[in-house]
Chains A and B, each alone.
Chain A
Amino acid sequence: MMNNPWCLKSSLHKAIILFASFWMVGANAQSDAPILIGITAEFGMQNSQAAQSVEKGILLAIDEVNQAGGLLGRKLALEKRDDRGLPARAVDNMNELSANKDVVAMFCGRFSPVALELAPVANRIGLPLLDPWAAADSITAFASPSFVFRLSLTDSWAIAALLAHAQSRGMSRLALVLPNTAWGRSSDLAVRGQQHAGVEITRHWYNWGDTEFQPMLAKARMEGAQAIILVANETEGSLFVKQMAALPDKQRIPIISHWGIVGGDFSAMVGESLDSVDLVVVQTFGFNGARAQKEKQVATKLYERFGIDASMLQGQVGFAHAYDLTHLLALAIKKANSIDRAEIRKSLEQIKSYNGLVRHYTQPFSPTDHEALDRSQLYLARFGVNRNLLPIKAK
C-alpha cells in the first residue's frame, strides 16, 4: 500500500493515513518530553537555604523515580522559578508555569504569605500545590475540592508544642514575638486559640527586614516575660538571638522558637552567641537516627548526588518533606495513569500507604484532610555541641 500511494483513490484512505501520522507524532512528543514538577520558592533570598534544601529533596526523589523507569513511560523533571519570597512574583510564576500542560503540580517554599496567595490561585486554575514547609493553618483550608496538599506542620501544632514546652518548664508569663505578616497573624491566631488559663502572653510585632530588637527585648523583660515565643526566620531570628546573648547574664530569658530559624545556616549566623542563650526549636524531622535505615539510605544517595553529608544539610525538614511529597506525587501520577491535574489531585487523596523518610504514611491525604503529617510528628530540639539539632523530647 505504501509502495504505491498514487493508486489510492479513496478519500477515506487518505484521511486514515493523515490521522495515523498525526497520532504518531503526538505519541512521540508525549514520550520524549518529561513530566514537569514546578517549584516557586525564595531561591534569591539572602541567608536562606530552605528553597535549596527543598529543591534537593525533590531532585533526589525525581532521580529515584526516573531510575525506577519514570512515570507513564516518561521522565520526571523539575522546573524552577525564583520568587524571592514575594507573593506577587510567586503568583506570576505559577501562572506562567501552569500554562505548560506538562507541569502536573507545583511546590511552594517556606513562606506562608506566599503559600497563602498561591493556594486560591491553585484552586482556581486546578493545579495541585504541594506545600513542603509553609505553616499557616489556612493554607490548606480554602476550597472544595482543594488542590493544596501539605506535608509539614501547621502553626497551630507548632504553637501548641511551644506552649506545652513553656508550661512544662513552669513558665506563666510569655512574650510572643511575631512578624507583621500572614505567618505572624496565623501564629497569633493559634496562640489565641490555645492559650491556657493563667498564662499571660504579651505580643511584640516586627517587620521582615527589621534589625533592631533590643527595645523589644527590654519591653518584654519589663513586662516580666519568663521566656520568648519566637516566630521568625533565620535572618531576624539570628539577630534576635545575638541581641539576647549580648544582654547581661541575668537579663537573658529562654527562647522557645518556631522552626523558621532553621531555614538557613542558623548556627553559623549566630556563632558563639548560641552557647549563651537557652534556645529550643520545634522540628518534624532530622537525620538523627529516628528512622535509621531509611535515613541511611537517603543520606547515601544525598552524598552521591550532591556531595553533601546529611548531618551538614541545612533545612533538613524541607528536604525530607519535599522528598516524601515528590514520591507521593509520583505515586499519584502512577495511580492516575495520566498527567491530568484533576486526576492527579484525586489520586493524591487515594494513596493508601507509603514508607517515607519522615514517617510511614497511611493514607496521607483524604478529601477532608490535606495534611500528610500530624501533631505527633513534632518534637523540640536544641543545638548540640556540633551545632546539629538534637531532639530533647522523644516523639
Chain B
Amino acid sequence: MLFITQQSDRLQARYRQLDLRGKITVQLVSVSMIIGLLIMVAAYYAAKYQITTQTESILQGRAAIEKREIELRLGGLLAVAQSISNNPVTANALADSGGREIYLTPLLKSQKLEVTGASMTVLDYRGRTVVSSAPLSPVFDTAQMYERFMATGLMHATILHPSDSNSELDILFPIRYRLTNSVEGAVLLRIPLNSLLAPSSELERSWIKDKEGRTVAGQAPMDRIFEIDTSLALSDPLDSLQLKLAVSRDQQYLVDNLRLLMIGFLFLGVLVVLGLSIFARAMARMITRPIGEIATAAEEIAATGRPEVRLSHYTDDEFGRMAAAFNTMIDRLAMSYAELEQRVAARTHDLAKSHHEVQFTNERLRQRELYLRATIDNLPFFFWLKDSECRFLAVNKLFAEACGRSNPDEVVGMTDFDVWPTELAQRYRAEDLKVIETRRERSLEEHVVGDTEQGWIETFKKPVICSDGSLLGTVGFARDISERRIAEAHIREHVEQLNTVFALSPDGFVSFDQQRCVKYVSAAFSQMTGLSGNEVIGLNELHLSQRISELCIPQTRFIGISALRDRQKSGEGAIREGKQKIEISSGKRVLEVGLRETSVESVSQILYLRDITHETEIDRMKSEFLSTAAHELRTPMASIYGFSELLLAQPFNEQERHELLATIFKQSELMVSIINELLDLARIESRRGKDFTITTVDVVQILEEVIARYKTPEGRSKPVFEVLAIPLLVRVDRNKITQVLSNVISNAYKYSPNGGDVRISLKMSELVDPDDISQVGISIIDHGIGMTIEQCARVFERFYRADTSGNIPGTGLGMSIVQEIVELHGGHVLVDSALGRGTQVTIWLPIADQTINEVPHYDGEIPYLGGHI
C-alpha cells in the first residue's frame, strides 16, 4: 500500500514537471486508453450474456421435451404393471401350483414395455419369484423392505444402487387375493433408469438425480457450464422419490472464440493508442509554440516596466489574433501612463482651495450647539441622551443638578453608575437595555426615596433610531409627579366608599353613562332581578328595559325606562315620582322601580329598585283577613237579623217566641265570642306580649289547676294526666297559658265526639334531643276524628275549621290564638294527627333557668307517676 502511494506521488510529481506539450499528450493518451478498455469490457459481457440466454432457452426446450418423454414412458409402464397386479389371473396364479407358468408367462411377456431392459416379475408373499418376463429372474434381497410392503399393501418404489449411474428403479404393486382378502404377492416392475434418457452427445447431456442429489441415471459432465434441473411430475408411488431431470450443454468452444476476439481487440487497441500518442505530441507542439512567444514578451515588459516590446504576427488564426491584441494592449498601456501623470498635478491645486470652506462650516456648527444647549437647559424636566452603550451624550442642567454636578458637560461620557447609587443605576440600566432591545418607548412611574424626602417620578424613554434603521442610543425625560399621585389616591378612596355604600344598600341601583348605557350595577340589583353585572353592563336602556320586562309576571309588566322618564315629566303623585311596582315571576318578589336623572357629568340617570315584597304581603293579608272576618260575623248576624225581624212582624205564642229568642241568643253568643277572640288576637298581635305579666310558674301546677277548673262534657271522664315528680318551671303569663291549655283541652273533647280518653303528658326536650334540655313539652292527646295532612297544615289559619259539618261549634280562631301566645313566649306548637285515629297537640315552652338549676339529680330516668288527677 505504501509502495503504491509512493509510486503515485512520484508519478504526480513527474506529471507536474512536464511542459504543456507533455501534459496534453499524456492526458489525450490516458483518456483514449480508458475509453478503449471500457468498450472492450462492455463488448465482452454483452457477447457473454447473449450466449448465456440463448443456451438457456435451448436447454429449457430440450429439458421440457425430455421430461415429458420420461413422464409418459414411466406412466405407461406403471399402468401396465398395475393392470397385471389387478388381473385376477395373477392372484389365481399365486394360489396355483407348478404349471401356472403356462398362462402367467405369456401374460407377462405379451405386455409391451416401452423401455428397453424393463421387466415385470410376479413375486410370492416372501418376495420369491413366481414368474418373470426377464430372462434372468431379478434378485430381490431387501427382505425387510418387502415385509413392510406386504404389511402395508401399498405400492412402493425404490432405486437400486442409487450411487451407481446404472441404477434401476424397482416398483412393487401389491397383488390382492380376493378369497382371503389379503395381499399375497407383488408385481415387481424393474426399470433401468438409463434407458429412460435420450442419447447424450458431446455437446448436450442429460441425467437423472434423486432427492439427495445423487446421479441415478446418465452421467453428469465434469464441467457443467450450463445446467437446468426440472422436477419430474410422476404419479404415486414414484412421486416420493422426487426425481429430477438435469440437462446440460457444453459451450466451451463459444467461450474460446470469445476470448480470441478479445485478444484481437486488445492488439488493435494498443496500435490505436500508439498512433494517438504521436498525433497528440504534434498537436501539442502546434498549440504551445505561439503561447511560448507571448510569454517571453510579457516577461520582458515585466522586467523593464516599460511597455515597449512588440510581437510579430504572421498567421490569421487565433494565435495571430492574440498577438495583434497583445500589441494593441501595449499601445493603450503607454497612453494611459501619460494621462495619469497630468491628473496628479491638477489634484494638488484643488486641495489648497477647500481648506477655507471647512473653517466657516465649523463656526456655524458651534453656534447651533449653543442654541441646543440653551433649549435643553431650560426644559422644566430632566432630560438626557445616551448612546447605545448607555453613556450620557448630553444632559440638561436640571438633570446635572439632580446628580449633584454643576456643569452638564461633566456628566457627558459617564454612565448611570457614575452618578446614581448602585441600586438605582442598576434599575435604570435595565430599563435602558429593555428599550434598546425592544426598540420601543417605555414610560413608568416609580416611587423614589431620597435622603430627605420621597416622591413619585414619571420617566419616559425612547430609542433614537437613524434613518438607516441603526440604533444611535436612547433619549429620556423625567418629572416629579408626587402631587398628582396624592390627588389620585384621594379620588380612589372616595370611589371605594361610594361602592361600599352601593353594595351594602338593600336597594338596587343601575347607573347609566351619557349614552344611557348601563355603566354600573349594584349587588342588590343582581340579587333582586337575578341579572348579573356581566349580563347587563354595556346594554342601552331599551335593552335593559326588555330584560327586566321579561322577568316580570304579565300583570305587572315593566313599562320601560324611557316611559318612567316621561311619567316623571307629565304625571302626578306616585307617578310623578317616576315609580312603578313590578312583580318578578321567579321568587315572587315585588319591586318598586324608580328613575332619577342626574346632573353629574359621567352619570346621566340612575335606576333604583326597592324590594317591597314584605309590605305588599302584609297589605294583602290585612285585606284578606278583613273580608274573612266580615264574612264570619255576617252569618250569625243574618240569623239574629232574620229572627228578630220575624218577632217584630208577627205575633207568636210563648213557646215559639222562646225558641226564636233562644236562637237569637245563641247566635249573639257566637258573635260575641268571635268578636272577643278577634279582639284578643288583635291585642296580642299589636302588643306583641308587652302586656304579658311574666312570672315563674310550675307547669304541673298550672295543668292541675286547668284540669280541675275544666268542665268536662257530660258523660266524658277527666283527662288522664301523667305527672312528672319534679317541678318544671317556666316563665309565662299564667292567664295566657291557662287560656292556651283550656283551649287545646276543649278542642280534644270537641273533636272526639265518640268518646275515648283525653291524655295529657309532659316531656323534656332532652328526650328528643339529648343535648337540648331547654324546653318542656305538654302533649294533649285525643282519640277523635283526627285530620288529614292537608287539614293539619292549615290548622293555624284564622277561621279555618277542620269540621265542615257544622256539628262541632267553634270560631276557627282558637288555634291561631294558641299559636300566637305560645310563640310570643318563645315556644312553638306541634300538631300530629291521623284521620279517624286522633290528634296530638304538643306545646313546647322554654324552661326557666331556675328549673335547670333546681332539677334534682336522678340517675338517667325521670320517674313517671301515672294516674288520674
Q: Which residues of A contact B (CB under 8 A)?
A: 44-47, 84-89, 92, 111-114, 116-117, 179-182, 185, 207-211, 235
Contacts and interface: CB of A to CB of B under 8 A. Distances in A.
A209 B99 contact: no
A341 B181 CA distance: 36
A112 B95 CA distance: 10
Contacts of A89: 125
Given A84-B180, A86-B124, 18 more contacts: A44-B180, A84-B182, A86-B125, A87-B97, A88-B125, A88-B126, A89-B125, A92-B126, A113-B96, A182-B96, A182-B97, A182-B98, A207-B91, A208-B179, A209-B91, A209-B177, A210-B88, A211-B178
A85 B88 contact: no
A180 B97 contact: no
A238 to B, nearest CB: 12
A208 B180 contact: no
B465 to A, nearest CB: 123
15 contacts: A46-B180, A84-B177, A84-B182, A87-B95, A88-B185, A111-B95, A113-B97, A180-B96, A181-B95, A185-B99, A207-B91, A208-B88, A208-B91, A209-B179, A235-B179
A138 to B, nearest CB: 10
Contact of A45 (B88, B94, B179, B185): B179
Contact of B95 (A44, A46, A208): A208
Contacts of B97: 87, 112-114, 116-117, 181-182
A87 B130 CA distance: 11
Nearest to A82: B180
A114 B125 CA distance: 15
A86 B128 CA distance: 13
B416 interface: no
A113 B93 CA distance: 10
Nearest to A115: B97
Interface in B174-190: 177-182, 184-185
B128 A88 contact: yes
B103 interface: yes
Contacts of B203: none
A327 to B, nearest CB: 29
A179 B179 CA distance: 13
A207 B126 contact: no
A181 B178 contact: no
Nearest to A48: B179
* Closest CB pairs A-B (n = 9): A209-B178, A113-B97, A207-B92, A88-B124, A207-B88, A116-B97, A181-B96, A182-B97, A84-B180
B128 to A, nearest CB: 7
A164 B130 CA distance: 38
A180 B94 contact: no
Q: Specify which of B100, B180, B181 lies most central, judged by the most chain A CB atoms within 10 Å of its CB.
A: B180
A269 B92 CA distance: 22
B325 interface: no
A181 B92 contact: yes
Contacts of A180: 89, 92, 96, 103
A179 to B, nearest CB: 8
B94 A88 contact: yes
Nearest to B94: A86
Contacts of A182: 96-99
Q: Specify which of A185, A208, A211 lies most central, judged by the most chain B CB atoms within 10 Å of its CB.
A: A208
Contacts of B185: 88
B750 to A, nearest CB: 118
A115 to B, nearest CB: 8
A374 B177 CA distance: 34
Contacts of B125: 86, 88-89
A85 B95 contact: yes
Nearest to B92: A207
Nearest to B180: A84
Q: Specify which of A47, A111, A114, A209 lies most central, judged by the most chain B CB atoms within 10 Å of its CB.
A: A209
Contacts of A114: 97
B132 to A, nearest CB: 15
B100 to A, nearest CB: 8
Interface in B115-146: 124-126, 128, 130
A209 B126 contact: no
